[in-house]
Structure 1
Amino acid sequence: MELTNAHILARIEQKFPGSIVSNDVAGDGILNIETTREQVADLLEFLRDDEHLNYHFLTSLCGIHYPESAGRELGVIYHLHNWPQNRRLRLKIFFPIADPHVPTATTLWPTANWMERQE
């Protein structure tokens, strides 16, 4: 089965109803999904382990800072890759600068350790 953006969104919504804050497709064709900090660890695990989604590779993660966005000044973007179908995905979370805590992704991808320390 071909993995489409609609299929990805439907699988997530089926497993985690209401967890998608927003989504869009970037100019490069990559699906961007925003979720909450509280959902991100479970959603990352699902994206990795679901037999239809297969986002086994964490390409990178990076911190972002939007000082003008009150209550959403900081964020993290997780860049995931499904190698068999060559599908990429960006998963984003935002949170207040006063509470800069994010669950680790190292339990799913040990290599996230280096990327998390860089941010």
Structure 2
Amino acid sequence: MVTKEDILNFMRQESYRPLSYHELRDLWEIGPDEESRFMKVLGRLEKEGEIIKTRKNKYGLPHMMNSVRGVIRLNQRGYGILLPDEPGQPEIFVYGKNLNGAMHEDKVMVRIMERAV
């Protein structure tokens, strides 16, 4: 059976491009008897923020999708600062209109819309 580590190692390959559930299932040759478990492994990876699913239902690593996982700190002025989980990464400013209901100290995933120059 395919493990979380197998999936992550596969997605970390330089040649990896985001794939759909069906493409991943077929690639790993997951049979009907293993499909439920495979779906749970993908779901767990997504819930833990190790992988993300795009609006087009393709799976990939957060950095491939311009996304960063971390803890959001809210300011009284209405904006937030994301403290990335990955050490050495810069803090990320999040406009109040883009907080989508996040609360102070929530664990969140943000998509980078534009980078400071």
Q: Per the shorter chain, which TM-score range?
A: under 0.3
**Rg larger for:** 2
State TM-score, norm by structure 1.
Answer: 0.25
